[in-house]
Amino acid sequence: MALGLGSLLAPLLYIGSKNALHRFTQVDDPLEILAIHVVPAFFSLLLAPVFHWERGLAFAPSRDGLWVLAFNVAGAFTLAAWSALLSFFLFGSLAACGGLTREEKGQIKGKNAFMREEYPGNICTKHCM
């Protein structure tokens, strides 16, 4: 049952999260990390205690099942907070040393120009030292 529900929800979760990220935040996610890894992992943490074959809320509703669901939700938000905190320090330090800034010309030309080394040099050695 869980496999069937997961198989039906997977494409909807993927397309929905990919479109929602772009529409509401204007964030370009070329590797689709959020749609492929984050959203399915969060929903698996939510659905695992519901469809557990012995103690799942769908098969044997109990207070223990609700506790497991509550701990999984708390764990999911803990992981999200940890990732956000690490990202804040990583990208904050890059922004502080100018590692996240690019010229408008470079943004328009995009990745191909950067890969052809029209913008040579290590970012941190150029801006931080």
Its pTM stands at 0.64
| CB neighbour class for 97 (10 Å; exposed up to 12, middle 13-18, buried from 19) | middle
* pLDDT (tens digit per residue) in 3-26: 777 788 888 999 999 888 888 887
Contacts of 90 (CB under 8 A, 6+ apart): none
52 burial via Cβ count (<10 Å: 0-12, 13-18, 19+): middle
Express each pLDDT in 70-92 by its tens digit: 999 999 999 999 999 999 999 88
Type of residue numbered 37: H
Judged against a pLDDT cut of 70, whether residue 112 lies above it is answered with no
What is the C-alpha separation between 55 and 65, in angstroms, rounded? 6
Give the percent of the chain with pLDDT over 90. 21
**What is the per-residue pLDDT for 110?**
54
Of 99, 100, 91, 106, the closest CA to residue 127 belongs to 99
